[in-house]
Structure 1
Amino acid sequence: MAYKSIFDSSKLTAEFQNAQINTQFIPLIWKYVLQNPNCEWEDIPSLPSAAYPLLRSKFKSLTSTVQSVIDSTDQVTTKLLICLQNGASVEAVIMRYDTRLGKYNGKARPGGLRSTLCISSQVGCKMGCRFCATGSMGFKNNLSPGEIVEQLVLASRLSPIRNVVFMGMGEPLNNYSAVVEAIRIMTSSPFQLSPKKITVSTVGIIPAIKKLQHDIPNLNLAVSLHAPVQDIRCQIMPAARAFPLERLMDALREYQEKCQQKIFIEYIMLDAVNDEQQHAHQLGKLLETFQVVVNLIPFNPIGTLSPFKCSSDEKVNSFQKILREAYNIRTTVRKQMGQDISGACGQLVINMPKKQYPSGDAVTDIEDLRL
Structure 2
Amino acid sequence: MASSALHSVFDEATLRNEFKKRGINIRCIPVIWKYLLLNENAEVFEVPGLSNAAYDVLRSKFIAMTSTVKATVKSADQSTTKLLIQLQNGSFIETVIMSYDTRLGTYAGSPRPGGPRATLCVSSQVGCKMGCTFCATGSMGFKSNLSVGEIVEQLVHAARISQIRNVVFMGMGEPLNNYKSVVEAVRSMIGHCFQLAPRHITISAVGVIHCINNLKYDLPNVNLAVSLHAPLQEIRCQIMPAARAFPLGKLMDALHAYQEHSKRKIFIEYIMLDGINDQEQQAHLLGKLLEEYEVVVNLISFNPIGSISKYRTSKKENVELFQKILRGVYNIRTTVRQEMGQDISGACGQLVVNLSDKKSPAKMEYSGKPEGIPDIEDLSILRS
Give the TM-score range, shorter chain: over 0.9
What corresponds to 2:137 in structure 1?
A: 134
2:59 — aligned with what? 56
Aligned to 1:369: 376
Pairing partner for 2:93 from 90, 93, 113: 90
Q: C-alpha deviations, 1:27-70, integer Å up to 9, x for none?
A: 11111111222223343222111111221121111111000000
Give the counterpart of 1:244 among 242, 247, 255.
247
What is the distance in 2 between the residues matched to 1:292 and 1:234? 22
Deviation of 1:134 after TM superposition, in Å, equals: 0.1
CA RMSD of aligned residues (A): 1.3
What is the CA–CA distance in structure 1 between the aligned matches of 2:102 and 2:75, rounded to whole Å? 19
Cross-structure match for 2:278: 275
| Aligned mates of 2:45, 2:222 — CA distance in 1 | 37
CA–CA separation in structure 2 for the residues paired with 1:244 and 1:368: 30
1:25 aligns with 2:28: yes
Q: List aligned pairs for 1:121-200, cutoff 5 A.
A: 121-200=124-203
Query: Aligned pair 1:289/2:292, yes or no?
Result: yes
Distance 1:123 1:368 in 2: 26
TM-score (norm 1): 0.95
The residue number in structure 2 matching 1:300 is: 303
- Give the drift of 1:367: 6.9
**Aligned partner (choices 344, 350, 355) of residue 352 of structure 1:** 355
Equivalent pair of 1:165/1:368 in contact (CA under 8 Å): no
Match of 1:370, SS state, is helix
Q: CA deviation at 1:192?
A: 0.2
Residue identity opposite 1:208 in structure 2? C
302-311 or 179-188, which deviates more = 302-311
The superposition leaves residues 104-137 of structure 1 with CA deviations (integer Å, 9 ceiling, x where unpaired) of: 1111111110000000000000000000000000
Aligned partners of 1:57 and 1:207: how far apart in 2? 38
Q: Which amino acid aligns with 1:251?
A: A
1: distance between equivalents of 2:374 and 2:208?
21
* Residue in structure 1 matched with residue 263 of structure 2 by the alignment: 260
Deviation at 1:305, TM superposition (A): 3.4
Aligned to 1:309: 312
1:80 maps to 2:87: no
User: d(CA) in 2 for partners of 1:102 and 1:161?
Assistant: 22
The number of residue pairs the alignment matches comes to 360
What amino acid is the match of 2:64?
A: S
Worse-matched range after superposition: 83-92 or 30-39: 30-39
1:125 maps to a residue whose letter is C
Partner of 2:10, secondary structure, is: coil
Please give the TM-score of this superposition, normalised by the length of structure 2: 0.92
Other-structure match for 1:107 = 110
Q: Which residue of 2 aligns with 1:234?
A: 237
Matching residue of 2:381: none
Deviation at 1:370, TM superposition (A): 2.5
Secondary structure at the counterpart of residue 50 of structure 1: helix
* Separation in structure 2 between the aligned mates of residue 261 and residue 336 of structure 1, nearest angstrom: 25
Question: Is the 8 Å Cα contact of residues 195 and 218 (structure 1) preserved in structure 2?
Answer: yes
Give unmatched runs, 5+ long, in structure 2. 357-372, 379-384
- Deviation of 1:352 (Å): 3.1
CA–CA distance in 2 between the matches of 1:177 and 1:352? Answer: 29
Moved more, 256-265 or 52-61: 52-61
Per-residue Cα deviation, 1:56-109 (whole angstroms, up to 9, x for no partner): 121111111000000011210110000000000100000011100022111111
Residue aligning to 1:12: 15
Structure 1: gaps spanning 5 or more residues: 354-365
SS in 2 for 1:199: strand
